Amino acid sequence: MVSDSRSKNTATPDIIDVEVGHKIRSRRRALGVTQKKLADSVGVTFQQIQKYEKGTNRVGASRLLQIANALTVSAPFFFYKSEEGTNARNKDQAEHHPYADLLSFLETKDGSELNEAFGRIDSSAVRARIVALVKTIADACPGG
């Protein structure tokens, strides 16, 4: 008996599609790009970008390349994963990615919000004082 692939539960997104979508969202946010702006640059609706980011819709290879270009990364960027549970090969790749720590931080809510707020500060002197303050706080914290 041949199984019909349409009978599979398609309501649950594939984990790879979810991970790629997460990377798209985090990179877009890190750059301060809106869903609408990204959508316009790749020729889709912002609702389609939402579906890609949730993993509900799969991103085809050519569209992924367009998104990568719009977000100034290479397509393999979307497959780097630095979280626990990653297989050894991907974990090794993630650890050797030149910005792995930064990308992991920017993927968090705190990292994204801090990046966005810090980017709005025009004064380099104020920015330098904020960095010094954060370093002082980090040094005073246990484990810092």
**pLDDT single digits (tens) 117-131:** 888 899 999 999 999
- Is the model's pLDDT at 33 over the cut of 60? yes
C-alpha to C-alpha distance for 6 and 120, rounded to whole angstroms: 48
Whole-number percent of the chain with pLDDT over 70: 77
- Is the model's pLDDT at 116 over the cut of 60? yes
Q: Which residues contact 63 (CB under 8 A, 6 or more apart)?
A: 42, 44, 52
Mean pLDDT to the nearest integer, 69-85: 75
**pLDDT level of residue 26 (50, 70, 90 thresholds):** confident
